[in-house]
Structure formats: C-alpha cells, structure tokens
Structure 1
Amino acid sequence: MARRQPRNRNRTVITPEGVALPLVLASRGSRAAALFIDLILIVTAMTVTTLTLIWIAGGVGIKIDEVDADGPKSRAVQALAIVWIIAMFLFRNAWFLFFELGPRGATPGKRVTGIRIAARGTERLTTEAVIARNIVRDIELFMPIVFISSAIASGSDTDVAGWAGAIWCAIFLLFPFFNRDSLRCGDVIAGTWVVEAQNRKLGQALSVSATAAVADQAFTFTPAELAVYGEYELQTLERVLREDKGSALGDVADAISRKIGRPYPYRAERVFLESYYIQLRAQLEQGLRLGRRKADKHAA
C-alpha cells in the first residue's frame, strides 16, 4: 500500500523588486488553534466588559428591575446599554481587523501559534484585503451562530435550524481541505495566504556585524539613497538577511544597487545589504522621532 506523501507547504512570493522570497504555508491545525485562542480571548473580553458595566451600574445604585421608564436612572441604563452594544460590536468585528492590520499581520492567537497573514500577489498586504477576508469570516462563522441562536430564541423548529447551521458551517470549515493552499473562502476572495511567521529576533548581533561591516567596507549611504525605501522594504530586507540564502541576497543586493545607482564589490552582497539595512533602519527611526513615517517606497 502506497504511503501518502506529506503536503508540500513551501511557496514563493515575488516582491515588487522582482525578488523571489520563500514562504511556508501555515498548517490547518495551527490555523484552527489560532482561531480557537482568539475566540476564547474575544469571549473573555466580552464577559469582562459585561461584568464591569454591571458592577458600574450597581456601584451607582442602579437596579435594572427598579428603573422608572422616564427617570434619570433609566437614561443611565440606556447609556450603559449603548456602551455595551458598541463594545460587543467592536470585539466581534474589530478584533481581527485591528490586529491583522498591524505591522505583524497577526492576531494574538496567530502570534501564539507562530503564523501571520500575507498577500499572495507581488504587492504588500492591503487594508482592503484584510477587510475583505474578515467580512467573509462573518458569513463563515458568526452568521450561522446568530441564525441558530435566533431560531432558539423565537421558539421555531430548532432541529431544522440546527441542521441548517451545521451544514452552513461545514461547507466553509471544510473548504480549506479541498484546495492545495488550505485557503479559507476569505483568503480566496481577499488574495491572502496564512503563512508561518519568521523569527523576528534579528538580534543585536546583526546590528553589531552591520556596524562593523560599514566601518570595514565604507558603505555609507546618503539620505537620498536611503529615502527610496520605507518600513515595508526594511522588513523584507531584514527577512532576507535572516534567512541568509545566497540567491536571494544577490537578487536583493542587485535590486537595491540598481535603484540607488551604487555598485558593490564582487561577493560583498551581505556586507552591502547589512550596511544598507542598519542605515535605513536608523533613518526611519529618526523620521518617526520627528513625526515622519514612510510606510513603503510609494509613500511621499
């Protein structure tokens, strides 16, 4: 009996500079674990918020069953109810958006399991893509739950509602098992992947070696040469240096060299890139201290 070959999760993404960078797709198990952790955190945050508002109401002497329809306590209860509704809405809808739009592209659950989202195309991850994949999550997960809960609350046929909700969930939950990249419907629509996050600990060693390399090789770049790139390109360069793959180092060094019009010596790709990395990072950090932010090479 033939043994089943393990699924190949290695992929390659082409950067805007035309450089091929390897990625490893996240496993289905790690994605499920990340979602489970996030849902636990969301429910916990909702519960804590609800109990806090109840405690506040009790602290000011408000009892729900003793509130007059037109009295000041009624208006206070209405205000607390509005706060509660807004908080529940944000926890359910803004949790994933807030964290995935951040620099790490990962919710707390994804960080724990070591994964993040990334764009499948040649461009960087966009706000529109993150919004699209999270809108679809409502259809995949939250709408079936609301549908079943509404059916139970209204006293209608819960068996039919339960089966309908289960089938609804199953269609979307099983979708990643029927494509080679383990994509959710949201990933397909938004053009995203969920990939394993690289270890972000570039560490002090790189900074020290880069400083030494600058001193030894005299690769000193002008502010104009550094200004052609931003935070996104800095992160890409950091990743290339961390992975230390010869072909990628050469491709990136060639791309930067052409972009700024500065050649580098033969077989000095890494020294050239380390020098550029440490000086670009210093310039971007200086810009942040002065209130200027350059997200990528397209930013003014």
Structure 2
Amino acid sequence: MTAAGTARHRAQRARRMREVVTPEGIALPFTVASRAARAGALIIDFIILFVTAIAMAIGAFYLATSLALDGTAGGEEAAEFIFVAYTLIWFVLWNGYFLALEMGPRGATIGKRLAGIRVAARDGGRLTPEAVLARNLLRDIELFLPLALLISASSGEMGAAGIAGAAWFLVFLLFPCFNRDALRAGDVIAGTWVVEAPRASLADALSTGGAAREGASTVTGAQYRFGEEELAIYGEYELQTLEGVLRDGDPETLEAVHAAICRKIGWNPGRGDERAFLEAFYAQLRARLEGEMRFGRRKADKFS
C-alpha cells in the first residue's frame, strides 16, 4: 500500500472512531465496522446457510427416495415425514443461526468473526437477548422483501402501487448507507451497532514496568496482589480494553477505570497510584487468562 493509500485508510478509520460512556461511567473507544465488512460477513453467513441447506436437502431426498422405493409399508408416509421434518429444521436453522451466535459471548456469527466485527450495545452495556431478537426479526423485512418486490417490479408483474411499495422497502435495504454509523433499521430499533472486534487470541503483552512486573508500586511501595475471585470477574474483552487505556495513558480515563475496578472487586487503595494499580491488575489478569487458555478454557468477557 502506498503512503497516500495508507493515509487515506487511516483517515477513513478515524471517521469511524466513536467513544461510548458505559453504565459504569467509563469512556470506551469503539471503531464502527465498515459497510464492506458487514456485507462480507453477511455473504459468508448466507453461504454457510445455503451450503448447509443444500447438504440437508440432498440427504433428505436420498433418504426419502430410498424409503419410498423400497416397497415397505408406510414408506411413502415416512418420506413425506422426512420432507416435513426438513422444512421445520431449515426454518429453525435459518432463524436460529443468527440469534444463537449473536447471543453468545462473542456477539458474532461465523461471518462476523471472520470479518473481525461483532454486535454491541450502543450504550456500552451488555448485549441483551431482547436486542439480538429485535434486530434479527427485521432482517427479512430489510433484505428479502425488498429484493422480492424489486424482482417482481422488474418483470412487469406489478403496477404503479407495487413499484411504489418496492421503492419504500428499498429504503430499508439501503438504510445503512444513509447514516454515519452504518446502522440497519434493526440496529436502530434494538439499540445496537456493529463494531470492530479484537481478535480471539490475546494481543501482544503490554510492555509495562514497576507494578506490572513486581506487583508493587514504585511510587508508594504498595503491594498489589489480586486473588482468584477478584481476577475471575473479568475476561479477554476487559483485558484488551484495559490495555488500550494503559497505552493511551489519559489521566482522567485511568482514574475512572481505576475507580470502576475497585468498586467491582471491593478494593479501596486510595488515589494517586492509579497507573501502578492498573498495571498490576492487567499483568495478573493476563497471566490468569493465559493459564486458563492452556487448559482450553476461555472467558470472553465479564458476562460469560
């Protein structure tokens, strides 16, 4: 990539940067996912669904044909039952795929994971099942109904009223192009957005000294040793958020995060030594999460 291309990419990314104040009063930075990343993730998810549907259809057809042609009593009824069962399973898969994966701790379907994006609440709080359900119930209205109406309109089978209806529903299809956060209509109703997500693997360790290495403050000499219960509260997402806060080094943000963690774990170490406390907490939380990962256990965030 040329220097001009790199500068342009950085400028585009900067325009997608947002800051959200969480219910705990902490300002967290987010990067809104690009429209291209969202479209790519959706295409991957649909490919997965359609390949699964074709494989299921082939298996159901083979089994039903075998039962219908083997001449045994009830073979045709069994074949009909297989096709009914296939229809029901496909309905559950089509509607449950997005719901089940986005309600998970990562808040992302397979396509979104591959694209490096995830669904998040716009208020910085927890992504609720109600929000995931609301945003996904509108997908057919936003995507497939406009496409079906447009196909019908292009074939000449619709009158003026039908064309006007197709144009109205096209607004839903193109809604992400009309707002700076690339929100779907479902996102607006559910209070969600799609943001860039940290990769599943932990980032390179933050280079810190003092408390992070020794667990002691070079300013006050205080010892910061955290127990299992205190470290078990947070997961990888919070670790990476804390790393970003430490790298940025903004004093007000350090104080806010320090106060939030202290409230959460029941500590009261006082003020003036926030960075040493956070460096120690970061180092010990990271060590704990990496130890858990060696045994195949992962904690995506504080809600999992």
**Partner of residue 28 from structure 1, selected from 19, 35, 48:** 35
Deviation at 1:250, TM superposition (A): 4.0
Cα distance between partner residues in 2 of 1:129 and 1:15: 17
Contact 1:148/1:158, CA 8 A, preserved across alignment: no
Q: Corresponding residue for 2:249?
A: 246
Cα distance between partner residues in 1 of 2:31 and 2:45: 22
Q: Corresponding residue for 1:46?
A: 53
Q: Corresponding residue for 1:237?
A: 239
* TM-score between both structures, scaled by the size of structure 1: 0.75
**Partner of residue 279 from structure 2, selected from 238, 253, 271:** 271
The 1:226/1:270 distance shift into structure 2, 3 A limit, reads closer
Amino acid at match of 1:246: G
Deviation at 1:284, TM superposition (A): 8.7
* TM-score between both structures, scaled by the size of structure 2: 0.74
Amino acid at match of 1:106: A
User: Residue by residue, what CA displacement relative to the aligned partner does 1:261-293 show, whole Å, maximum 9, x if unpaired?
Assistant: 2427364144233145247748999xx98xxx9
Q: Give the secondary structure class of the aligned counterpart of 2:101.
A: helix
Cα distance between partner residues in 1 of 2:229 and 2:180: 44
Deviation at 1:42, TM superposition (A): 1.3
Cα distance between partner residues in 2 of 1:108 and 1:274: 29
Q: Corresponding residue for 1:19?
A: 26
Deviation at 1:88, TM superposition (A): 1.4
The 1:280/1:124 distance shift into structure 2, 3 A limit, reads farther
Cα distance between partner residues in 2 of 1:210 and 1:87: 57
The 5 Å alignment of 1:100-139 reads 100-139=102-141
**Partner of residue 16 from structure 2, selected from 9, 15, 18:** 9
User: Residue by residue, what CA displacement relative to the aligned partner does 1:73-131 show, whole Å, maximum 9, x if unpaired?
Assistant: 12211321122112210232111112111221111221222211110114211110000
**Partner of residue 221 from structure 1, selected from 216, 226, 241:** 226
Structure 1 unaligned regions, length at least 5: none
Cα distance between partner residues in 2 of 1:180 and 1:136: 20
Q: Corresponding residue for 2:77?
A: 75
Deviation at 1:252, TM superposition (A): 1.3
Cα distance between partner residues in 1 of 2:239 and 2:122: 18
Aligned-residue Cα RMSD (Å) equals 4.0
Cα distance between partner residues in 1 of 2:286 and 2:39: 37
Q: Corresponding residue for 1:158?
A: 157
Contact 1:210/1:278, CA 8 A, preserved across alignment: no
The 1:258/1:107 distance shift into structure 2, 3 A limit, reads closer
The count of residues paired between Structure 1 and Structure 2 equals 277
Q: Which moved more, 1:208-217 or 1:87-96?
A: 208-217
Q: Corresponding residue for 1:98?
A: 100
The percent identity for this pair of structures is 39
**Partner of residue 37 from structure 1, selected from 25, 29, 44:** 44
The 1:200/1:62 distance shift into structure 2, 3 A limit, reads closer
Amino acid at match of 1:240: L
Q: Corresponding residue for 2:261?
A: 256
Cα distance between partner residues in 2 of 1:132 and 1:266: 40
The 1:45/1:145 distance shift into structure 2, 3 A limit, reads farther
The 1:294/1:198 distance shift into structure 2, 3 A limit, reads closer
Structure 2 unaligned regions, length at least 5: 1-10, 218-222
Amino acid at match of 1:197: A
User: Residue by residue, what CA displacement relative to the aligned partner does 1:11-58 show, whole Å, maximum 9, x if unpaired?
Assistant: 111223211000111112221222122122211111111011112234
